[in-house]
């Protein structure tokens, strides 16, 4: 084992600071360097101590979490994990836009089971920061074309850790092709997906919403998988609809990127397009195999731009990924793909 990952805890509650320190130091791979009780003190300590990771509460006196993030990302980009209550879910989206690496929802009730769940999630995400590039930002991934009649060009996108700002950048890049429909499988707690969709809805020409059972897939719409449920594409007598089933015990992830991609392969065949963005784990690897078997397009974000290279790396390792590109290049190349499909009648 290498040196422990160092952490600075920033929270105005002494109880929360003690709890987080105890949970973090339950792992031999993590060491808490120090703590700070507000953003101003935290910024000074980050510059002085240079921790590998920062945990951040957003609601603090003197210098709040959002201002802290703006200043930190200019002065000394460092992976930041926001720890927020469900009541401030919209603030989390803003924090991710400002450069936060990931977030964790505080449990509504402090029970032994809730603390153990928090401990595991906290340590997993702190350790994932080993693979984060300082100041790493995401590019875009556009496309869009009506295939025939009212059926839009559909893109399935999978992401996990580091994904929310990547998905936003992807949609910004897609703005020049507003007839596209995007299905997003983003690993995120259920209490945050609606706010995530609402935030994305305000940034461009797309209508972005949390997907519901039975939604018809419409051009110019983006559907976010509801947290804790899957997002699947279904062909109901010629109409493309969405299904949002609950997970079964065997499912490791909910939403599952694998299941999203597999449903796109089943329904769309060679017209399917699957894109794997940043994230921990291997979700999406089986899905790209299914899309590739049907002759569809399977793309993955390159190591150069992925905040966490786990999901793209595992997808690429299957041998089923047709293109590996930096996100900015993905945007340009997908736009070209859309134009080619439009000219050939959607094939």
The catalytic residues are: 160, 187, 283
Among 176, 181, 157, which residue's Cα sits nearest to residue 260? Answer: 157
CA 127 to chain centroid, in Å, comes to 17
CA 266 to chain centroid, in Å, comes to 24
Among 235, 260, 234, which residue's Cα sits nearest to residue 247? Answer: 260
Phi-psi region of 9 (alpha: psi -120 to 50; beta: other; left: phi over 0): beta
The 8-class DSSP code of residue 304 comes to T
CA 41 to chain centroid, in Å, comes to 29
Give phi and psi for 154, each to the nearest 5. Answer: -110, 135
Instruction: List, as own/partner pairs, every contact residues 203-210 make where C-beta atoms lie below 8 angstroms and the sequence separation is at least 24, other chains included.
Output: 203/168, 203/171, 203/172, 204/171, 204/172, 204/174, 204/175, 205/175, 205/178, 206/171, 206/174, 206/175, 206/178, 206/182, 208/171
**HSE on the CB side for 343, CA within 13 Å?**
6
Beta strand segments in the chain, E: 5-10, 30-36, 53-56, 80-84, 102-105, 146-148, 151-152, 154-159, 181-186, 207-210, 221-224, 232-236, 239-243, 273-276, 297-301, 323-325
Report the alpha-carbon distance of residue 311 to residue 26 in Å, rounded: 27
């Amino acid at each position: 084992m290498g040196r422990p990952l160092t952490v600075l805890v920033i929270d105005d509650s002494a109880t929360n600071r003690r709890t987080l320190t105890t949970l973090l130091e339950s792992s031999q791979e993590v060491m808490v360097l120090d703590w700070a009780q507000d953003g101003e003190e935290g910024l000074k300590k980050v510059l002085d101590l240079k921790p590998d990771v920062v945990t951040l509460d957003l609601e603090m006196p003197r210098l709040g979490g959002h201002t802290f993030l703006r200043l930190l990302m200019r002065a000394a980009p460092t992976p930041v994990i926001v720890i927020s209550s469900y009541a401030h879910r919209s603030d989390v989206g803003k924090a991710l836009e400002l450069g936060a690496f990931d977030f964790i929802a505080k449990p509504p009730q402090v029970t032994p089971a809730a603390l153990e769940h928090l401990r595991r999630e906290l340590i997993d995400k702190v350790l994932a920061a080993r693979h984060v590039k300082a100041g790493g930002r995401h590019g875009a991934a556009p496309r869009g074309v009506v295939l025939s009649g009212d059926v839009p060009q559909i893109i399935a996108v999978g992401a996990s850790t580091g994904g929310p700002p990547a998905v936003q950048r992807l949609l910004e890049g897609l703005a020049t092709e507003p007839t596209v429909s995007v299905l997003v499988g983003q690993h995120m707690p259920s209490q945050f997906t609606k706010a995530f969709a609402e935030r994305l809805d305000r940034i461009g020409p797309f209508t972005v919403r949390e997907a519901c059972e039975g939604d018809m897939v419409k051009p110019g719409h983006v559907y976010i998988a509801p947290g804790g449920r899957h997002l699947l594409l279904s062909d109901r007598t010629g109409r493309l609809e969405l299904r949002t089933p609950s997970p079964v015990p065997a499912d490791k992830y909910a939403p599952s990127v694998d299941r999203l991609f597999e449903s796109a392969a089943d329904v769309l065949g060679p017209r399917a397009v699957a894109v794997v963005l940043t994230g921990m784990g291997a979700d999406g690897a089986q899905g790209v195999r299914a899309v590739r078997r049907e002759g569809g397009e399977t793309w993955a974000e390159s190591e150069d731009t992925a905040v966490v290279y786990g999901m793209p790396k595992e997808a690429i390792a299957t041998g089923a990924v047709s293109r590996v590109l930096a996100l900015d290049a993905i945007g340009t190349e997908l736009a070209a793909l859309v134009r080619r499909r439009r000219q050939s009648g959607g094939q």
